[in-house]
Structure formats: C-alpha cells, structure tokens
Amino acid sequence: MSLLELDDVKVHFPVKRGVFFDRTVGHVYAVDGISLSVTAGQTYGLVGESGCGKTTLGRAILRLNDITSGRVVFDGTDLAQLPAEEMRRSRRRLQMIFQDPLGSLNPRQNIESILAEGMAAHGIGADREERRARISEILERVGLPAGALSRYPHEFSGGQRQRIGIARALVLEPDLIICDEPVSALDVSIQAQVLNLLEELQDSMGLTYVVIAHDLAVVRHISDVIGVMYLGALVEEAPSDALYAEPRHPYTRALMSAVPVPDPDLEDNRERILLRGDLPSPAAPPAGCRFHTRCPWRQPERCDTERPELTDMGGGHRVACHYAAEIAAGTLRPTTELAPRVLHDTAEGTEPPAAAPAGDAAPDGSGPGAARGA
C-alpha cells in the first residue's frame, strides 16, 4: 500500500527583477512534473547531481516550499490542499532529517529542550516527566547515552549529532521521514553506522523513508526503489537491484559508470561514459528531452523536440528515454559526434578519444563535462 503519492508535482520559483516594483522575469523550474509512489514501510531513494531539485521536492512534500501544481497525497489526503492549521498537525507524521545536523540544532538549547519542544507543540506527552521518559527511550534507541539529555549540540561528534537529528524526528512518532543527504557531512566510517541505524529503526518502528542523496552508493544499500532525477524530473525509476543490474537511461548509465568498482579487472575494463557540458540551468531547461544536450545517444529531431514520458519497461522499471529499448538491445550506437565520450578502458591504459573537441570532459573524468554527482 502506498503511503505517499506524488502526482505531477511542480515547484517553480519566480525570478524577480526591478528596483521599485518586483517584476517576474522568468522561473526556476526546480521540480517540473514528478509522479512517484512510496510504499509504506519501504525506502525510496532519490538521486541526482547537485541542483537537480531533490531538496526542493523533499521540502515540497512537507509543504515547506509552495507547490506550483500537482498533488501530494499522504495516507489518502492531498497535502497541497490542506488548510495551514491542518497541515501543521499533519507535519508530525512527516518529518525531515537534514544534512547538517549542527546547523539544524539550536546551539543554546540542551538536547532535552530541543527534543521536548516539538513534542510539546504537537501535544505529545502529558507533562515534562512523561516527555523526558519518552526522550530517554528514543535516545537509547538511536545509541546515545541517557546523560545526553542535559548536554548541548557542540558537545557531540558529527555522527552523534545526526543521531540527535534522528531522535528529534522520532519523538514525534512520524510515519514518514525525509532524509536529506543524511550522511554526506559524515566520515565514511560513520556513514555506514548511521545508515545501519536508519535501517534498524525502520524495521523496529515500521517507518517509511524518502532518502535524498547525490551519492549512488548511499542510496543503493538502503533503498527498495530508486528514482534518478535530472533537471527537475525523474529520468528513471526501478527497484534498487534492477537499477544497478541494468541502468536503462543514458544519464543513469553515466552516473553508474563513474562509480569505482572494487575489482581491479572489472575496473580496468568497464565502460566509462563521460558526459559533455554542464548541467543546464533549471531557469532555461532544454526543450524536448532535458538530457539531450549531453546525451551520447541523442537522435535528431525527436530528442530535441519531444519530452519523453516515464514508461514502464517491465517489472516497474520506468525510463524516460525515447530510445531506451534500442540502447539496451545495442541496436542504437552513440552518435558519431559524441561517440568518443564513451570510453572503454583496457588493462594497458585508457584508449584516448579520437578527437575530443576542446573544452570537453577530460578522458580521466576530471574535466568539466565528466559525470558528476556519483
């Protein structure tokens, strides 16, 4: 059963100019038509490079950003239509965990006060004693000592602060937690601990997660379903295993090809897809397929003019590419102009691109056009 359904959600920020009178001179199309469904008790991972609209979408679900159009149906209720007071009450059930735990914790409040604040606002716990007992129980669950109650955020390490952020969400007894880059500010060794904790809590408390990350490795292990975003839209969505076994969209293939593989033989021989050009501005997205300006498989006319719909290719593997089937079957080759961007490393060394145009991605992936965000 799906707990959260997004139906063609758009968040467009007006761009204003003018000294005396603000005139709207354009829009940033941060989220531009996202439909997805999150099953109760599962984790939906949302990946994409910086600026593709992941955070804006997460905030829109909680209505921390105004929604331009579309429906955000949570447990049968369209949040986009809820009056402010009812939305405030619903927010208890939808919580968010942020990337920077320190930035989201008031340095002048001790942990008990930070956690009790939200509980009191939502009428959880009859009195201070009851709230304290609940907070102690949650602190134990997230692996913090009971003595943490009277301490202040700066007294904790980065990983512990993220545990406090998780506890702050949990004391409100939410159903859905949006985790926005929950581990990207943490050391790699701590990242796994926090991800494991999130998984344990999901199992024991029946939580549903949307995990937002730019790092494919982070979402891989924790997600049941993964959605890949590019310029405000989903380009691919699939059960986690299917996505990693066979990425179908050229953008996902490029992201995956940039992730190092631990096996040296595989690492030396695998395909590397280097994207050329930078991410276009969401204020002036390309017509047709948003990815066509960087796509090695771009075909004339159709890709430039017709925006592809997310289409189910079987087993819930949805892809927004006119030529996904042909690319998967190998019957469509990368276009001549962009073919050098698809490199095959050999054990002896990397085959250099035939004639890389100046200013494009360097063969080692370090240039400005290299696939980012993975």
Ligand X SMILES: Nc1ncnc2c1ncn2[C@@H]1O[C@H](COP(=O)(O)OP(=O)(O)OP(=O)(O)O)[C@@H](O)[C@H]1O
Residues that bind ligand X (CB under 6 A): 13, 28, 30, 48, 50-56, 214, 282
Alpha carbon of residue 73 to chain centroid: 19
Give dist(CA 238, CA 253) in Å, integer: 13
Q: Would you call 273 helix, strand, or coil by DSSP?
A: strand
Q: Would you call 58 helix, strand, or coil by DSSP?
A: helix
Give dist(CA 135, CA 360) in Å, integer: 54
To the nearest whole angstrom, how small is the minimum distance from the Cβ of residue 61 to ligand X? 12
To the nearest whole angstrom, how small is the minimum distance from the Cβ of residue 56 to ligand X? 3
Question: Of 51 and 340, which CB lies nearer to ligand X in the complex structure?
Answer: 51
Beta strands in the chain (DSSP E): 2-17, 23-39, 43-47, 69-74, 77-78, 94-97, 176-180, 208-213, 225-230, 233-239, 271-273, 311-312, 318-319, 342-346, 349-350
Question: Of 54 and 292, which CB lies nearer to ligand X in the complex structure?
Answer: 54
Question: Of 65 and 193, which CB lies nearer to ligand X in the complex structure?
Answer: 65
To the nearest whole angstrom, how small is the minimum distance from the Cβ of residue 198 to ligand X? 19
Question: Of 57 and 119, which CB lies nearer to ligand X in the complex structure?
Answer: 57
To the nearest whole angstrom, how small is the minimum distance from the Cβ of residue 15 to ligand X? 7
* Cβ partners under 8 Å of residue 300, min gap 6: none
Question: Of 30 and 320, which CB lies nearer to ligand X in the complex structure?
Answer: 30
Q: What residues pair up with 16 in beta bridges, in sequence order?
A: 24
Give dist(CA 41, CA 241) in Å, integer: 18
Question: Of 233 and 242, which CB lies nearer to ligand X in the complex structure?
Answer: 233
Give dist(CA 168, CA 179) in Å, integer: 13
Measured CA to CA in angstroms, residue 361 lies from 285, 289, 340, 353 at distances of 21, 21, 11, 10
For residue 266, give both structure tokens.
């595989």
Question: Of 288 and 373, which CB lies nearer to ligand X in the complex structure?
Answer: 373
To the nearest whole angstrom, how small is the minimum distance from the Cβ of residue 202 to ligand X? 23
Give dist(CA 231, CA 30) in Å, integer: 7
Question: Of 30 and 142, which CB lies nearer to ligand X in the complex structure?
Answer: 30
Give dist(CA 252, CA 313) in Å, integer: 15
* Cβ partners under 8 Å of residue 193, min gap 6: 159
Question: Residue type for 219, please?
Answer: V
Question: Of 175 and 181, which CB lies nearer to ligand X in the complex structure?
Answer: 181
Q: Would you call 194 helix, strand, or coil by DSSP?
A: helix
